[in-house]
Amino acid sequence: MKLIFAFLALALGAFAADKPNILWFIVDDMSANFSCYGEKLIETPHVDRLAREGTRFSNAFVTAPVCSPCRSALITGMYQTTIGSHHHRSGRGVEKIHLPDGVTPVPALLQKAGYFTCIGSGLPGEGRAGKKGGGLGKTDYNFEYDAAMYDAADWAGRKAGQPFFMQVQLGGGKLRGGTDASATKLLERAKAEFGSATDPEKVTLPPYYPRDPVLLRDWAAFLDAVRFTDAHVGKVLARLEKEGILDQTLVIFMTDHGISHARGKQFLYDEGTHVPLVVRGPGIAKGKVRNDLVEHIDLAAISLAAAGLPLPPAMQARDVFAKDYQPRDAVFAARDRCDETVERIRSVRTDRFLYIRNFHPQRPHLQPNAYKDGKSIVQTLRALHDAGKLDPLAEQLLFSPTRPPEELCEWTTDRWQVKNLAADPAHQATLETLRARLDRWMAETGDKGPESAAMYDSDMDVYVGGRVGKKGDSVTEKNIALMKKWAAEGK
């Protein structure tokens, strides 16, 4: 028997040694503002290099525009709505979320196949934001999982010849913080480290944001956060080159959703769901740009296929590099509760149109939310709204007290999705087709829908430190009470 186990161990080791390393760059809160994607105000030479030496996807979208649902979907290759992990920061209280039978996180599958699995900064001894300390990187999964599916924070501890699966977790857009003071501080850091900072006056904002100094500084700091992200990518690539393993490593660069802003993060417009996706490595075409629609969950299938592993039968991700791959004709996204704020939005996107369904149209776009309302940019927008200083487009899109139940945008020509065609008779056939397509996807994928009152209360108890149901004056508690009031009113 010992001989059999020894033989199996040797066989597994030989199998693993022939496989490529797999490295993911996963970046927080960052849209595709890289020069290889057309950004003109900054330069991003290292991500550009990945694109030049690999394949760049111009139409990659997340299935959830907020961290924990997005990452729960990514690591399983499953829609977050299918596995019940679609509510942001859920399963953190006494009520837990368990993965369905047949669904296993990618690191666990690769570890079982002989990979050394790690999650960290990609630079030994350095944290996500360039700080000292090399602990495990961000996971943020909403379901229960065995932390042992990660061997370490870095691949340095692997056995000789053992392939590794590495997730490099970067702070991205979070580097600029949430206040005007923190944005200003990052601009100062950029000037010190790069010799210059992005000029706020040269920033181009989406048309529904006013050119207020606070918003301009924030966007400029965001662009400098892109520069810091690119620099970190360069350091990791240099390490791979120094160790002589760059060309034996499948490198994938992606962000977990778009910029954190009033119509970006947490929402299903391009500003929230469109992300950069660049892949470089063995067998990947160089200098190629693909325009087909792909979903962020596809990283799971791409990685398992690169490791020579079969895709689990239940997995919804697709290997977009497979020889028999048939491009999707549509991609889907969902937004649900974020922190204490109850929401439900679904979308389907084709190569021309974006259809969005708002399940709570009687609620405003900017519902009260402690996280977002704590940001200087949102505070500034609310102040300008109260003072009557926003233009009609900003008022309509950001501060209308209600929303249309359905939105239909021609996203390929309407860059920021500001024109709703849902009521246009000329587009009724498209509206009906996409309405039915979304219904079918929700049914076929088993969309779990709203969470139970017990789960909401369980997670809110964590949010407010166990003070749910007691009198208090915290913003979060007030918002929770408002959510329950609106629900009772049928809003």
Q: What digits encode the pLDDT tens for the residues 157-186? A: 999 999 999 999 999 999 999 999 999 999
- Residue-level pLDDT at 18: 86
- Per residue in 296-354, pLDDT (tens digit) is 999 999 999 999 999 999 999 999 999 999 999 999 999 999 999 999 999 999 999 99
pLDDT above 90: percentage of residues in the chain? 92
Mean per-residue pLDDT for 96-125?
96
Q: Once rounded to an integer, what is the mean pLDDT over residues 261-271? A: 98
Question: What is the rounded distance in angstroms from the CA atom of residue 230 to the CA atom of residue 172?
Answer: 9
Yes or no: say if 469 and 481 are a contact pair by the CB < 8 Å rule. no
User: Residue 491: its pLDDT value, please?
Assistant: 95
pLDDT digit string (tens) for 209-258?
Answer: 999 999 999 999 999 999 999 999 999 999 999 999 999 999 999 999 99
- pLDDT tops 60 at residue 467: no
Q: What is the mean pLDDT of residues 441-468?
A: 91
Does residue 203 surpass a pLDDT of 80? yes
pLDDT of residue 14: 47
**pLDDT band at residue 135 under the 50/70/90 scheme:** confident
Q: SS3 letters for the chain?
A: CHHHHHHHHHHHHHHHHCCCEEEEEEECCCCCCCHHHCCCCCCCHHHHHHHHCCEEEEEEECCCCCHHHHHHHHHHCCCHHHHCCCCCCCCCCCCCCCCCCCCCCHHHHHHHCCCEEEEECCCCCECCCCCECCCCCCCCCCCCCCHHHCCECCHHHCCCCCCEEEEEEECHHHHHCCCHHHHHHHHHHHHHHHCCCCCHHHCCCCCCCCCCHHHHHHHHHHHHHHHHHHHHHHHHHHHHHHCCCHHHEEEEEEECCCCCCCCCCCCCCHHHHEEEEEEECCCCCCCEEECCEEECCHHHHHHHHHCCCCCCCCCCCCCCCCCCCCCECCEEEEECCECCECCCEEEEECCCCEEEEECCCCCCCCCCCHHHHCCHHHHHHHHHHHCCCCCHHHHHHHHCCCCCCEEEECCCCCCCCCCCCCCCHHHHHHHHHHHHHHHHHHHHCCCCCCCCHHHHHHHHHHHCCCCCCCCCCCHHHHHHHHHHHHHHCCC
Output the pLDDT for position 125: 76
Please check whether the domain covering 19-321 is classified as CATH 3.40.50.1950.
no
Does residue 68 carry a pLDDT above 60?
Answer: yes
Q: pLDDT by residue (tens digit) across 3-23?
A: 444 444 444 444 566 899 999
Predicted confidence band of residue 1 (pLDDT cuts 50, 70, 90): very low
pLDDT at 12: 45
Q: What is the pLDDT of residue 124?
A: 87
- The pLDDT mean for the chain works out to 94
Q: Is pLDDT at 468 greater than 90 in this prediction?
A: no
Tokens of 54: 């690999």
The domain spans of the chain are 19-321, 335-488
Per-residue model confidence (pLDDT) at position 132 = 56
* Residues whose CB is less than 8 angstroms from the CB of residue 275 and which lie 6 or more positions away in sequence, other chains included: 30, 31, 32, 60, 61, 62, 254, 255, 256, 257, 258, 296
pLDDT at 458: 96
Check pLDDT > 80 for residue 85: yes
pLDDT in the model for residue 465: 80
Supply the pLDDT for residue 473.
Answer: 56
pLDDT class of 28 with cuts at 50, 70, 90: very high
Q: What is the mean pLDDT of residues 77-83?
A: 98
Give the least confident one: 74-78, 123-127, 296-300, 475-479.
Answer: 123-127
Q: What is the mean pLDDT of residues 246-274?
A: 98
- Residue 126: predicted pLDDT: 76
0.85 exceeded by the pTM? yes
